Chain A
Amino acid sequence: MMLSRIADSLFWMARYMERAEDTARILDVNYHMMIEESPHALRMRWDPLVAITGEQERFAAQCSEATPRNVFEFLAFSADNPSSIVQCITSVRENARTIRDRLSRELWEDINSLYHNVTRFNPEEEIAVGPHRFCNAIRFGSHSFHGVADDTLPHDEGWNFLQAGRALERAEMTARIVDVEYHKLVESPGTGDTAGNHQWMAVLKSVAAYEFYRRQYHVRIEPERVAELLVLHAQHPRSIRFNIATVQQSLRAISGSGPGFYADEAERLTGNLHATLVYDRIEDIFARGLHTFLDDVQKVCRSIGENIARTYFYYAVVA
């Protein structure tokens, strides 16, 4: 027996945690890339980061220029950016607070101390020393969150909502990362091979797939191969396919529907997308246009989210 409101909070708690972690990863890796590069490339690097988080309009309204400082402040600390890391962690805790009777004591204390830890960081100081220390704390915090959740929560429906939230958020985020980076490469080929190479290395590092790529392909970094890994790989936990498979698994565990069947629109959309990711090859996707494909993935992810809410969280007003 699980209250709809609680399922809703668990789902969003995981999404916000994932958003915080992904943003921290992107920020950290790109910042260190930047140190190695020329001032020209440096200016180019920073505004796509905002695009990856999907907050370009808000950023434009608040900052005149995409300086490293502005972008770091906006993505990490800004109280006016609901997707900033600090705001995400605050939302994780707010969601956790409304359901803390349902969480293990360990998980609540873990979330609570992460929140206190994160809010204790002084933005000015962190901007001065660079984002690594801060981003690391977020990454560890997210790992700790999932570790404690796995180890102390019953793996019941609530846990499945947690898994679905994390996987759906991550699938959408990976789609955006690949989309934005690929777009950049196509738009400005003048940056040259070395720069392009660096850029893709940064992408792989930001999703913890760099070493894995090396082992998998034994070749220099090629955009097609990177896209293949991040979109279609069956086992890498950051690939879109892996995460859509997780969403499917979690939704089936909740509804009880077996393979080949679906109980609701969210499951149908998930299954449909999963089939494409399993049976299409990367050349098929490039033939149709990577950008269009990734754009569709993001739309479907949003629609899955809406349908999960419609099926499980919201009640039509009775009487």
Chain B
Amino acid sequence: MQQAQIAEDDLFRDYDTGSFFDEMFAAPGQARPHYAKTFQELERLAPAQFQELRELADFSFLLQGITFTVYSDGRGTERLFPFDLVPRILPNSEWNVIERGLAQRVRALNLFLQDVYGQQRILKDRVVPRSLIYSCRHFCRQMIGVEVPRGIYTHVAGIDLVRDSKTGQYLVLEDNVRTPSGISYVLENRQVMTRTLPHAFQLHGVLPIDHYPAELCQILRMISPRGGDRPVMVLLTPGIHNSAYFEHTFLAQQMGIELVEGRDLVVDCDIVYMKTIHGLTRVDVIYRRIDDDFLDPLAFRADSILGIPGLMGAYRAGNVALANAVGNGVADDKAIYAYVPAFIRYYLGEDPVLSNVETWLCSKPEHLSYVLDHLPELVVKAVGESGGYGMLIGPSASLAAIDDFRERLRADPRNYIAQPVIGLSRCPAHDPRTGRMAGRHIDLRPYCLYDGDKVVIVPGGLTRVALKPGSLVVNSSQGGGSKDTWVLRGEV
């Protein structure tokens, strides 16, 4: 009788690990060792109690205004970024491998950018086809021959990892080395989590992450072109209507630097100034969260009202440092991605620690014909897009959508790559409709900081979760949420 009562009230009732790698359970009802304590904790909670905690967490996000903006209704509405209270836990040993793999990858990407805007040895040695580079929309000719401070291009990199259910191995899904966002959610998720489930942290040694803003600030200080202890550093935002605006304010505040918009800055004689109430003040370092295209209407898109006329001139003259560097998009192009393992071998002479997802480049005729023949079983992505836009997921696509992509692939093959559908690992997440736990697909975006010498990665990163049942798309614009990510201090 009592038994039945407990089962009735169980958060994990009817939990199905399915045919996927489940991060929490090795087998149904049997938690993996590094999840054992958390599972015990959660099991003790009745669905109603858990629902209460969830509301507490949601309210905390609302109160702090931690929201993102969606524009689908034409007005730009603020939404909460859904947060799931079940943590994603990584054992220390697993994290060590990831950390090594990411550091290696970031170094290789930075060396590639130095090279491709410098001597172009990699093109001369035919490791990567010249045509692929020069046809990349984000390859920036204005950057050729520009010496960037300390040779750093990828000050901040967000590298998306997934765990393949088939092998249990982590794979790199994509690199983001332009203006990767999401770190503020990582830091805020942790804050809310420690307030909502304080007991859980006492049971585990969880590695801290709150040193991120200080580490980034240190890098910004290092790249200042003028000497002195107190360079003027600013964070350049497109403004309040940008979907990542919360993050911009958060980081500026955490680093204690000025948050500026394009209209706050002006360039005179290749020097950047900001407009203060007592006149113009020279700016040394800009952590910019505006895309290349919009930075400087004189150099790039003339219709940009977000940027600062003359900024590229000041940058090229070495009077201001930008992070990340301009032109980085050539390194995270989804077609170039296929060559990153080759970069690692070429520049570092090492084998990649983390593998890529198998990728067909539609620019190669033999790959294109394979892709065209197998569209219903592949994922097709436009190379320059991000945020889950411009994608075809073959197995769940309609025939019309597949035909549409077939046309697009034939018309512009360089613009597309294809990959097999990866069965992303799953982690329990709370389903508000049933009040129970259900397996949902997740990925992981760690944030890597590079100071020209070492790569610093705050343990964990952003775990995004596809909250729609069965969905493989974790982007917030497509109904994704996030989880707090724990890297355990020691072995379990």
Contacts and interface: CB of A to CB of B under 8 A. Distances in A.
A292 interface: no
A78 interface: no
A200 B261 CA distance: 48
B260 A3 contact: yes
Of A3, A4, A97, A157, the most chain B CB neighbours within 10 A belong to A3
Contacts of A116: 62-63
Contact of A5 (B63, B250, B263): B263
Interface stretch (A105-113, A134-142, A267-275): A105-113
Contact of B275 (A98, A112, A315): A315
Interface in B248-264: 248-250, 252-253, 258-261, 263-264
Interface in B224-255: 232, 239-240, 245, 248-250, 252-253
A7 B249 contact: no
A108 B65 contact: yes
B240 A97 contact: yes
Interface residues of B, number: 27
Nearest to A115: B65
Interface centre among B64, B65, B268, B278 (most CB of A within 10 A): B65
Interface string A102-138: 1001001100110010000000000000000000000
A1 interface: yes
B275 A100 contact: no
A312 B259 CA distance: 18
Contact of A112 (B65, B232, B264, B276): B65
A318 B240 CA distance: 25
B268 to A, nearest CB: 6
B264 A100 contact: no
Interface class of chain A by DSSP? helix
Contacts of A1: 232, 258, 276, 278, 281
A2 B277 CA distance: 6
Interface string B56-80: 0000001111000000000000000
Nearest to A98: B240
Given A3-B260, A3-B264, A113-B63, A101 B253 contact: yes
A254 interface: yes
A319 interface: yes
Nearest to A311: B277
A318 B252 CA distance: 27
A94 B259 CA distance: 16
B274 interface: yes
Contacts of B65: 97, 100, 108-109, 112
Interface residues of A, number: 26
B276 A2 contact: yes
Contacts of A3: 258, 260, 264, 274-277
A193 to B, nearest CB: 51
B409 interface: no
A101 B278 CA distance: 20
Given A3-B260, A116-B62, A98 B266 contact: no
A69 to B, nearest CB: 28
Contacts of B250: 101
Given A7-B277, A109-B64, A318 B268 contact: yes
B268 A319 contact: yes
Interface string A164-201: 00000000000000000000000000000000000000
A94 B277 contact: no
B47 to A, nearest CB: 27
A5 B249 contact: no
Q: Most chain-B CB neighbours within 10 Å: which of A5, A101, A116, A313?
A: A101
A94 B62 CA distance: 15
A11 to B, nearest CB: 11
Contacts of A254: 277
Given A97-B240, A254-B277, A315-B275, A5 B264 contact: yes
Contacts of B248: 101
Contacts of B259: 99, 101-102
Interface in B267-290: 268, 274-278, 281
Given A315-B266, A318-B266, A4 B64 contact: no
Nearest to A108: B65
A112 B245 CA distance: 15
A7 B278 CA distance: 11
B321 to A, nearest CB: 19
Residue in B63, B248, B250, B268 with the greatest tally of chain A CB atoms within 10 Å = B63
Contacts of B240: 94, 97-98
Contacts of A98: 239-240
Contact of A4 (B62, B232, B249, B275): B275
Contacts of A99: 259
B264 A4 contact: yes
Nearest to B310: A319
Contacts of A112: 63-65
B261 to A, nearest CB: 7
B230 to A, nearest CB: 11
Among the interface residues A5, A94, A116, which one has the most CB atoms of the partner chain B within 10 A?
A5
Contacts of A108: 64-65
A99 to B, nearest CB: 8
Interface of B: 62-65, 232, 239-240, 245, 248-250, 252-253, 258-261, 263-264, 266, 268, 274-278, 281
Interface of A: 1-5, 7, 94, 97-102, 105, 108-109, 112-113, 116, 157, 254, 312-313, 315, 318-319
8 contacts: A4-B264, A97-B245, A98-B239, A102-B259, A105-B64, A112-B64, A313-B277, A318-B268
Given A98-B240, A100-B253, A116-B63, 9 more contacts: A2-B276, A3-B260, A3-B275, A3-B277, A101-B249, A101-B250, A109-B65, A112-B64, A315-B275
